[in-house]
Amino acid sequence: MAFYGRTADTSNLATAALVLGGQYRQCLMVLPDGAITAVFYDFGTRPRYRQAPANLSLSDEREVGRDGGLDALLTEANRPERRFDFVISTDVYRLSRRHAPVSTIMHALAVADIEFLIAPEIRDGHRLPIAPWHLRSVAYLDVLTRLHDQQQKHRTPIDRRR
């Protein structure tokens, strides 16, 4: 599972880092421990992202390393040896505020057979094969992986061309 976060406001980098830390924590709360294997985030808007710090500081004095930004996420998504089959974020509009780039990015992820998950939907029980209060007590990612694999088996020939 990869995390992606972004904040457009870069006027104060310390505040921006706190915002990103909040996004990361919100995603962590709905996943089992150790589920996030890659961390991608950006400051600013594409294509002129500000230089993001190498580590994301969380309020509990932990630091999380950065694997890159959106471009690095999309590059790794297309590699056969990628570290994730899912991307989680707090909102689809973390990818971009404009609809056209969001559609392009979501299509690129779909072509790479990567599912995009939104933390509040998981927390609220949407798109889940199990009840949300069981998330920490079951092998949630195994369930998601099996569900993803089942969907791939039942795709029509038209779906497979995307």
Low-confidence ranges of the chain (pLDDT < 70): 45-61, 122-162
pLDDT of residue 52: 60
Q: What is the reported pLDDT for 84?
A: 92
- The confidence score (pLDDT) of residue 154 equals 58
pLDDT of residue 81: 92
Q: Which amino acid is at 115?
A: E
| pLDDT for the residue numbered 131 | 43
CB-based burial label for 88 (10 Å; 0-12, 13-18, 19+): buried
* Domains of the chain, residue spans: 2-160
Residue 46: what pLDDT?
60
Per-residue confidence (pLDDT) for residue 35, from 0 to 100: 87
Give tens-digit pLDDT for 75-85: 999 999 999 98
How far from chain centre, in Å, is Cα 82? Answer: 14
The reported pTM is 0.71
Radius of gyration of the chain measured on its C-alpha atoms? 16
- Overall CATH class of domain 2-160: alpha beta
